[in-house]
Amino acid sequence: MTVPPDFVAVLPLVAAVLAATAVLLVDLALPGRRTAVLLTALVALAVVALAVIAIGGEERVAFGGAYTVDALTTFLQILFVAIIALTVMFGPDYLVPRGLPVAEFAIVLIFAMTGAMLLAASTDLLLLFLGLELMVLPGYLLAAFHKSDGYSTEGAIKYFLLGSFSSAIFLFGLAFVWGLTGSTRVSDVAAVLSTFAAGQGTLSPGLAMGLAFMTTGVAFKIAAVPFHYWTPDAYQGSPTPVTGYLSVGPKIGAFALILRLFVEAMGPLRADWLPVVIVLAAATMTLGNLVALTQNNVKRMLAYSSIAHTGYMLVGLAAWAAGRMEGLEGLLYYGAAYSFMNLGAFAVVAALQKRSGVTSNLDTFAGLGRREPLLGALMVLFLLSLVGIPPTAGFFAKFYVILAAVEAGGALSVLAVIMVLNAAAAAFYYLRVVVYMYMRDPETEQPALRHGRLVWGGLAAATALTILLGIIQGPLLDIVGEAARAIG
Amino acid sequence: MNISSIPILTIVTFLPLAGAVLIAALPRSAARPVALGTALLTWVVSLILLIGYLPRPDFQFVETLDWIPLFGIQYKLGIDGLSLILVVLTTTLMWVSILASFRPIQERIKEYMISFLILEVGMIGVFVALDTFLFYIFFEIVLVPMYLIIGIWGGANRIYATIKFVLYTLVGSLLMLVAILATAFAFQAQTGSWAGAFDLTVLRETRFDPGLQVFAFLAFFMAFAIKVPMFPFHTWLPDAHVEAPTAGSVLLAGVLLKLGGYGFIRYAVPFYPDAAQTFAPLIIVLSLIAIIYGAIVALVQPDLKKLVAYSSVSHMGFVTLGIFVFTEQGLQGAILQMVNHGLITGGLFLLVGVIYERTHDRTIARMGGLAGATPVYAAVFGFFVFASVGLPGLSGFVGEFLTLVGAFDFSPLVAAIATFVMILAAGYLLWMFQRVATGDLSDFLRGLGHHLTDMRPVEVLTLAPLAALVVALGLFPGLVLDLIGGSVGSVLDGAATAAPIRFALWP
């Protein structure tokens, strides 16, 4: 019996769905056995990762060009699996004291991962949309996970309304593009657009409008300024482990969409959208940082700072559009580095909230350095990485993006200067957390908490990656280089 | 085993890190001895470097390892005479600082010692790195422990001071990162190869086009001018010094400010000689302003530590002045002045710490008559005050004298202005000493009763090596001048062929 090649290509997706189902069944068979559920989830995720690696050895095009497995797909899918695995590890300590179910948490996350993995492999506009929705729908669910908490439901409603709204805008634009190019295949759209770029014929107003709508829809998803308003409320309201996931998973997913859409489909028109991305990047990082400066809630602060990080990643995209391959590599490196350091920072916030009723205000961090020295030291590491202080992953990621921008020259070197000034401003609010942890005494003495083994395991992994990606860059550089060459 | 195959620079750089890890693993009571032991061991290794060093102009003990081959980024270490004396200065001040912290610091001693040892890694790393990327990394690493040292163990207004310190320094250094990258790309565009694009020894042989030189020099200038600090970028310094714990101030003045001067001599001037010539007049004017301004402001300071901090601004003005007059004596004087300032101002901060520990006050007006009550303290204090004034026979004199000779070659007027300020320096330092040490014991000090004790043996021990070096370098400046001859020559050779860039703002 031979397995059809199309089926082989989507094997990781099948594995992901089976993984979610397996967790569901284990929870059904052994109700209340959290350890069994979590172990199943982690083992299943490992299997998915193995499937991704096994399938990703060669380039595969399936379903008539709608689904592609290339180096970029493999890289992104592995990254998604890692993000979900870390989130699953960080979740229970927050969820259990609040009486929230752990198994459902893991299952919904794995379903979201399936969507993100589909997104990473789609080379068809409609399939991209499908992956996007499959990724964000579980996200709405997760945002409202603490359903008895008013903030959680409020944030979820905002997230849901604006998310659906932006999806609709995206779909609207997609319809225009399909109608005027005659295809939803990324490669076909690129072929049509390249005739315009070559000077044959002009871009029709309808097509331009379609592309603009799709850009707007995507800008919503990555929370680029001025489409970022949903982020702070959604992030602050959600349960903290969910916030950590939301600030990383859907963002990297949306960047996967951007890579397929801007780089592959709209690549021929890059000279036209380059100014748009430059303005978006500059506005996004500057505004994100400025607003983050005034936040007293750490979750909200990290939400705004994640907007700023979106801006930094957009600099990589702009550098690619200006002709530098390093821009794309930098974007991917940044994505990986950002995922691990940001998840790590959120994990510490979540770990502090193990006792229910503890807020994520800055006061919670007062005296943490003395109360829980190890947790405090890890938080310092993640924050320094988010600032971009060497030798951490965050530093090298920023360095690489700036490198690409400086190399591109012209307007991009101005953008690089804006970026470094932003990085310096960001140091202020990240270090404010350090000030609270080490330089302020708490108003009331808090007991040290005992954290689960899974949390420590996840933190160890995030820490190791945050340090290693800052010191030994070679292996990941090779991988992102290959991934970038697959599309650029 | 061949002696040259031992990576001795890596050892001297990362030995403190090993000590920091050890302290983290051991119980609290072990923090002090382990920290001191590590610092002393590092000091001994740096002395081995001093013995093994041959007075030649090239870089020695070079270690090279490919790090990011894609861009020619290397892990490359090496020292010449300039790096060597600054490394030895660092390792010396480090064990002095750690010893001086034994009593004053009782809170979170583990974190404190770890911060200091990591600070030492960064500081030594800056001086031994021969790759601009690596240099940048060490330059930034220095920031974090100092931020914690001021912020956790500092005075009442410490958080404002430490954030200001970080933000100022970060803005400058990040702009420098952009300039490092722009230089690397310009190199790659000129030669078509990435090999050497971050290599100090290769880059300083490369002549870049004027546009890049101007931009990159200004970015490096920002980074180093903030670090030195030059007027008008100096405002973080008094805050940081006043709030920092004593040992933090010692290292801040003794080593961190030197990173700026070192950066000018090692990077900004050799890489962009034409731009350096172009901006030299402006920098000389700023240096003169710093020299005068620092002295005048020091004159009116009511607080001992603030007075020493502003005197730093004035003294460091001599360093930048000496560098940018581009004469042999000027540059020698600047380097000597960096070492002297590290020793003398480090000593003064230690002495301010000694009195502060007893009185919990640094107001000059409340002091008086210490010479009678604490004769040893007053004598040591007087010694360092005179060294700072520039008394011949002590090291401060030689550095300033050489700088002035160099400045005279450049322009008698500049030398005249700078010389005039030495009178001001004598004024504010001696006036301060008079108010603190002479006369009757003040009511405030009398009120302390038996708490006002003279210096303890440990405190004398921390100051003795600094005093010995001040005398030794004052009598035998050749000890340092022989070592730095090669470095000075190579910088001046590059600068000699440079010509100021002419700006054409409108064609």
Residue A175 within any structural domain of the chain? no
| A369 Cβ neighbours under 8 A, 6+ residues apart | A376, A377, A437, A438, B108, B111
Query: Quick one: three-class SS letters along B143-195?
Result: HHHHHHHHHHHCCCCHHHHHHHHHHHHHHHHHHHHHHHHHHHHHHHHHHCCCC
Per-residue pLDDT at B2 = 47
Residue B448 within any structural domain of the chain? yes
Nearest to B22 by CA among B100, B151, B118: B118
Average pLDDT over residues B441-456: 80
Per-residue pLDDT at A45 = 94
Contact indicator for A319, A408 with CB cutoff of 8 Å: yes
Asked if the interface predicted TM-score (ipTM) of this complex is over 0.85, the answer is no
Portion 112-151 of B in contact with A at CB < 8 A? 136-137, 140-141, 143-144, 147-148, 151
Long-range contacts at B447-454 (CB < 8 A, ≥ 24 apart): B448/B358, B448/B359, B451/B358, B451/B359, B452/B358, B452/B359, B452/B373, B452/B374, B453/B358, B453/B374, B454/B373, B454/B374, B454/B375, B454/B376, B454/B377
Chain A residue numbers with beta carbons less than 8 Å from the beta carbon of B182 are: 406, 413
Question: For chain A, what is the mean pLDDT?
Answer: 88
| B95 Cβ neighbours under 8 A, 6+ residues apart | B36, B39, B40, B42, B43
Structure tokens at A338: 């950002």
The single residue listed with the structure tokens 């001191």 is B36
∠A254-A256-A258 over CA atoms, to 5°?
70
Contact indicator for B52, B2 with CB cutoff of 8 Å: no
Question: Which stretches of chain A drop beneath a pLDDT of 70?
Answer: 1
Chain B residue numbers with beta carbons less than 8 Å from the beta carbon of A403 are: 71, 181
Per-residue pLDDT at A182 = 85
Residue B278 within any structural domain of the chain? yes
Q: pLDDT band at B504, cuts 50/70/90?
A: low
Contact indicator for A392, A341 with CB cutoff of 8 Å: yes
Residue A317 within any structural domain of the chain? yes
Chain A residue numbers with beta carbons less than 8 Å from the beta carbon of B146 are: none
Residue A43 within any structural domain of the chain? no
Average pLDDT over residues B382-407: 87
Where do the H-state alpha helices sit in A353-473? 368-371, 373-387, 393-408, 411-439, 453-471
Question: For chain B, what is the mean pLDDT?
Answer: 87
Per-residue pLDDT at A2 = 75
Per-residue pLDDT at B205 = 83
Chain A residue numbers with beta carbons less than 8 Å from the beta carbon of B178 are: 402, 406, 413, 416-417, 420
Structure tokens at B272: 């962009």
B177 and A435: CB-CB below 8 Å?
no
- Whether residue B455 has pLDDT greater than 90: no
Please report the DSSP string for B85-145 in residue order.
HHHHHHHHHHHHHHHHTTTT--SSHHHHHHHHHHHHHHHHHHHHB-BHHHHHHHHHHTHHH
Structure tokens at A32: 């209340």
B476: left (phi over 0), alpha (psi -120 to 50) or beta: beta
Chain A residue numbers with beta carbons less than 8 Å from the beta carbon of B174 are: 420-421, 423-424
Contact indicator for B258, B345 with CB cutoff of 8 Å: no
Residue from B118, B177, B215 whose CB has the most chain A CBs within 10 Å, to mutate: B177
Nearest to B6 by CA among B61, B43, B52: B61
Residue B286 within any structural domain of the chain? yes
* Cβ of residue B488 closer than 8 Å to a chain A Cβ: no
Q: How many other C-beta atoms lie within 10 A of the C-beta of residue A460?
A: 13
Q: What is the pLDDT of residues B350-381, one digit of tens each?
A: 999 888 888 888 888 888 888 888 888 888 98
Structure tokens at A436: 């609270």
C-alpha to C-alpha distance for A12 and B197, rounded to whole angstroms? 42
Per-residue pLDDT at A63 = 85
- Whether residue B505 has pLDDT greater than 70: no
Q: How far is A415 from chain B (nearest CA, A)?
A: 11
CA distances from A455 to A87, A462, B188, B431 (A): 10, 10, 46, 61
Average pLDDT over residues B70-75: 84
Where do the H-state alpha helices sit in A56-124? 71-90, 92-95, 102-121
Per-residue pLDDT at B1 = 39
Chain A residue at shortest CA distance from B112: A438
Residue from A371, A385, A399, A430 whose CB has the most chain B CBs within 10 Å, to mutate: A399
Residue B270 within any structural domain of the chain? yes
Residue A283 within any structural domain of the chain? yes
- Whether residue B496 has pLDDT greater than 80: no
Residue from B13, B71, B137 whose CB has the most chain A CBs within 10 Å, to mutate: B137
Q: Which of A399, A407, A427 sits opposite B185 (nearest CB)?
A: A407
Nearest to B136 by CA among B64, B73, B209: B73
- Whether residue B506 has pLDDT greater than 80: no
- Whether residue B3 has pLDDT greater than 80: no
B308: left (phi over 0), alpha (psi -120 to 50) or beta: alpha
Q: What is the pLDDT of residues A332-376, one digit of tens each?
A: 999 999 999 999 999 999 988 888 777 888 888 888 888 888 899
Chain A residue numbers with beta carbons less than 8 Å from the beta carbon of B20 are: none
Length of chain A in residues, anyone?
488
Boundaries of domain holding B325: 3-496
Q: How far is A103 from chain B (nearest CA, A)?
A: 37
B151 and A417: CB-CB below 8 Å?
no
Residue B505 within any structural domain of the chain? no
Residue A281 within any structural domain of the chain? yes
> How many domains, in total, are found in chain B?
1
B108 and A370: CB-CB below 8 Å?
yes
Boundaries of domain holding A416: 266-488
Helix then strand then coil, % of chain A, to nearest 5? 80, 0, 20
Nearest to A440 by CA among A373, A365, A351, A356: A365
Q: pLDDT band at B186, cuts 50/70/90?
A: confident
> How many domains, in total, are found in chain A?
1
Contact indicator for B143, B121 with CB cutoff of 8 Å: no
Residue A149 within any structural domain of the chain? no
